[in-house]
Amino acid sequence: MSQLALPLAWPADPRDDAFLVGPSNERAVRRLERPEEWPVRTALLIGPRKSGRSLLARIFGGRSGGAIVDDAERLPEIDLFHAWNRAQEAATPLLLVAERPHTEWGLRLPDLRSRLAASPVAEIGTPDDRLFRALLERQLARRGLDARPDLVDWLATRIERSHLAAMRTVDALDARAMERRRGLSIPFARATLHEAGLLDPAEPDPS
């Protein structure tokens, strides 16, 4: 595969709900692009909260015509077992979406465990630096907040590098900006995130 310029949107979407691709999720995207190469008709998509796993699954479903089961680890085992079998019989791709690998679901049905063990896994990992900045920029822009490069750089180096932390950070900044009727600045962000408990403990308390 040729080197990709990342992050990129998959697919391009004028409504800005495209899935941003970076090194931490590129392999998952590529695996879902080619369901005809799966060894069985069912695959698992694993990713942390707010990682875009449900969005990626919807894109997959739209492109492939396959079925999607979100929060698969919460469903009755017998339902998953039958869904897996139906996908093989119909030769239609089925994507099981979950937060954790199936080995951590506490499965009791041996036949389901063996079927899921045979299924390919697409996993979304921790975002790399470039993708993390892109995620922050997009969330800030969606809220109509000033996404200046210096502020994004400051945030990206001081909060936990996770999809959930990025979302919580933008939520906190948006709520405080509306409350105070103020634009964003680094001092404003530092005070807001300290109060919300979202800042790296090594960052000095502005108070």
Per-residue model confidence as pLDDT tens digits over 128-144: 999 999 999 989 988 88
- The pLDDT assigned to 11 comes to 46
pLDDT in tens, 80-129: 999 999 999 999 999 999 999 999 999 999 999 999 999 999 999 999 99
> At 5, is the pLDDT very low, low, confident or very high (cuts 50, 70, 90)?
very low
- The pLDDT assigned to 199 comes to 87
- The pLDDT assigned to 115 comes to 98
Domain 8-123, what architecture?
3-Layer(aba) Sandwich (3.40)
Please give the CATH topology (third level) of the domain spanning 129-196: Helicase, Ruva Protein; domain 3 (1.10.8)
CATH 1.10.8 in the chain, residue ranges:
129-196
DSSP letters for the chain? -PPP-SSEEES--TTS-PEEE-TTTHHHHHHHH-GGGSSSSEEEEE--TTSSHHHHHHHHHHHH--EEETTGGGS-HHHHHHHHHHHHHHT--EEEEESS-GGGS----HHHHHHHHTS-EEE-----HHHHHHHHHHHHHHTT----HHHHHHHHTTS-SSHHHHHHHHHHHHHHHHHHT----HHHHHHHHHHHT-S-TTSPP--
